[in-house]
Amino acid sequence: MTSDFKGEKIILEKIKREFGHKGIIQRAHRIWISIDKEELLDWAKWLKQEGFIHLSAISVSDWIEERKYKIAYLLWSFKDNVLLVLTAKIDRENPVVDSIIPVWGNNAQSHERENWEFFGINFKGNSNLIPLFTENWQGPPPFRKDFNWQEYVRDKYYNKENERERGYYED
Amino acid sequence: MEFGIVYHLFKNLFSKPMTVCFPYESIEIQKGYRGEHSYDRDMCISCGLCAKICPDKAIEMIEAPEEHKGKYPKKYPQIDLGKCCFCGFCEDICPKNCLKLTDNFFLSTFDKNSIIKIPFSEDKKGN
Amino acid sequence: MKERGDIMKINQEMSVLPKSNEYDFYFGPCHPGSGNFGVKLKVKGEKIISALSDPGYLHRGFEKLMEYRLPLQNAMLSDRICVLESLAWNLVHAEAMEELMDLKIPERAKYIRVIMVELSRIQSHLIWWGVLSAGIGFDTGFKIAFGYRDYILDLFADITGGRVYPAGYICPGGLRRDFPMEIEEKIEKVLDKIHEAAKFIETGNPTFLARTKGIGVLKLENAISLGATGPVLRASGLKNDIRKDDPYEVYNRFDFEIPVREEGDIYSRYMIGLEEIKESVKIVKQALEDLPKGEVILPKFKKPKLNMKIKEGEVYVHNEIARGEGGMHITSNGGVRPYRVKVRGPSFSHMIPVLEYLLQGAEIADVPAIYWSLNVCPADLDR
């Protein structure tokens, strides 16, 4: 049974009329759009009205050669059964982006806390950024690609007298 | 007032329990269970693929001790059962089918030296 | 022997302390009723004023570990993300890798995958009923649930080689082994025993009803804005199921219903768990009738390979696992190992925003009942 992407094409038409932007249909039930970070709140309010009421996740990946973080918002609509992925690129040395708690409620709070803790992103407007998983961590944000976690673990936990640990730390 | 509980009490007095008395009897273990390794030393060609695919680095290729070096000149796998997760990738990738998983899971021990399986123990012929 | 002067001194000291009935209370990680997760409560008398979740005791770093291993080794890691439903996470990871590499797997493999995942859902719901009964105080229910769960674990030991961890049985490319001989009669016998267990769960004990009706109510607009998914959202009134809305594998060929309730309290979540067990039994029976013959794995994945490149791109896959919506967002830059893996567990939204909202205004004696009725798994949250 092949689908002709009818629901997805209607949404893309509406987006073109409102913002003049083109998105990509990757397969059935998936739309990918990439925007600039300044337009984030306008898109967020318009998409919430159109039926994208569930925020699945906020996912960040670190592209160290381009010196940018790529942040992706994954949104699901129960009415049309479509998943829309909104991606934006932000600067790696001073990452600041608007918080989307006014649009999607307290669900976004825990996702933003996790990304603040692991990547160091400052969400403007979120006043409750306290650590979620770590306790008394003083070093740089641990998921960045230039933090050498293997060296940290070797300095702190390697017991040279135990012969069985040698294969993990010296190769 | 519920009398159903008395009926259930009588029924359970005469029915078979769900468990068995373990050390004296046990349920049947089918073949294909992933337990301890068995290794055939004479068929091994020392390719080293089992050490490369192991996700926990539990297999290390070592050289034979002096008295066996004439017959076994290359390197052979030594398995650390404490690090192994019993996934079976080493069994799938071996090109000569000489490393297999048996169904022995009684591996707890108080003796630290028996955790590492050396391929050259004198009393066994290939295990 | 205490003198009269000492007693007068103690009484004087105690009357100087502030008279208050507000204190801090940890329903914490060293408690046998809470798993590996802590909640810090501020309590006045017997009522809770506010709650703060304290996760992080089970963080093993899966998202970083998966960047250093091949896709086949990641399939072995993926069943340790949540121990209570290992086969479901195996399937999420295998589907994500297959979509990145553009593979089409054989039909027999798809039917066997559906059978294994539905059996895993039944055993996960039996654990849910067991720990909910233990949280209320009904200890017999806990023992009976784990007794019936053992029949399904024996089936897993025959098929995959291990009772709890199948070690990447559902791997990218198909399955690692085929069904052994005569396993279909054994599956039918186990499904009859599950019918017996479902009849036991349905009895209407008045104590159980008094402790679960009208407690821990979650209305629909709060459920959506706090991010609930799966059975918790269905108990609040919204009809949704990823197996019907965004079908994967061969679910669009089977005939099953989606139970929905309106009240949103502990009793309705418990009844939805029971009805889902019955629907899963129906799906397994239909799949066993139509099982085709053939291969179970693509030819180029039969022997493990050490240097197979993954195409560049990114993909997001989500499945309806027993606890809600479980997803993986994988990015690759053309190498042998994935570049970034993000795991979205259903308990991330259930344990931090929803739990803190539901515990406000509740009594201390209701805390285990509300906590276990959300079907939480601390391992999903911490990864």
Residue for token digits 């093993």?
C60
Average pLDDT, chain A: 85
The string of pLDDT tens digits covering residues A132-152 is 888 888 888 899 888 888 888
**Please, are residues C281 and C195 in contact by the beta-carbon 8 Å criterion?**
yes
- What is the rounded distance in angstroms from the CA atom of residue C142 to the CA atom of residue C133? 6
Could you report the per-residue pLDDT of B66-75, keeping only the tens digit for each? 877 778 888 8
Report percent pLDDT > 70 for chain C. 95
Kindly list the distances between the CA atom of residue C253 and the CA atoms of A92, A112, C122, C250, C260, in Å, as whole numbers in the listed order. 47, 39, 20, 6, 22
Average pLDDT over residues C226-245: 91
In the predicted structure, residue B41 carries a pLDDT above the cut 90: no
Kindly report the pTM of this predicted structure: 0.90
User: For position C190, what pLDDT does the model report?
Assistant: 92
* Chain C residues whose beta carbon lies within 8 Å of the beta carbon of residue A104: 225
pLDDT at residue A22 is higher than 50: yes
**Each residue's pLDDT tens digit, C258-287:** 999 998 899 999 899 999 999 999 999 999
With cut-offs at 50, 70 and 90, classify the pLDDT of residue C331: very high
* Paired strand residues for A85: A32, A74
* A27 phi, psi to nearest 5 deg: -160, -170
How far away is chain B from the Cα of C99, in angstroms, using its nearest Cα?
23
Within 8 A of B87 by CB-CB distance, chain C residues are 76, 167-168
β strands within B2-109, DSSP E: 37-39, 59-63, 75-80, 99-101
Range C43-67 average pLDDT:
89
* Geometric angle at alpha carbon B76, from B74 and B81, rounded to 5°: 165
Chains that touch B (3 or more CB pairs under 8 A): A, C
Spatial CA neighbour of C372 closest among C51, C16, C33: C33
Is C3's pLDDT higher than 70?
Answer: no
What pLDDT score was predicted for residue B103?
Answer: 87
Average pLDDT for A71-95: 90
What is residue A89's three-state secondary structure? strand
pLDDT tier, A1 (very low <50, low <70, confident <90, very high otherwise): very low
> pLDDT tier at A105 (50, 70, 90 boundaries)?
confident
The answer to whether the Cβ–Cβ distance between A164 and B60 falls below 8 Å is: no
Q: Does A34 touch chain C (CB under 8 A)?
A: no
Asked if the Cβ–Cβ distance from A57 to C340 is below 8 Å, we say: no
- Cβ C158–B88 below 8 Å, yes or no? no
Three-class secondary structure of residue C40 per DSSP: strand
Instruction: Point out the residue among B32, B34, B53 whose CB comes nearest to the CB of C167.
Output: B34
How far is B109 from chain A, CA to nearest CA, in Å? 17
Residue with more model confidence, B20 or C316: C316
Identify the pLDDT of residue C341: 93
Which residues, 6+ apart, have CB-to-CB distance to C27 below 8 Å?
A: C33, C34, C38, C39, C41, C367, C371
ipTM of this predicted complex? 0.90
Q: Would you give the DSSP letter of residue B14? A: T
Q: Is C5 exposed, middle or buried (0-12, 13-18, 19+ CB in 10 A)?
A: exposed
| A1-13 average pLDDT score | 67
How sure is the predictor about B13, in pLDDT bands with cuts at 50, 70 and 90? confident
Neighbours of chain C (3+ CB pairs under 8 A): A, B
Predicted confidence (pLDDT) per residue in B105-127, tens digit: 888 889 888 888 888 765 444 34
Q: What is the pLDDT of residue C111?
A: 93
pLDDT higher than threshold 80 for residue A83: yes
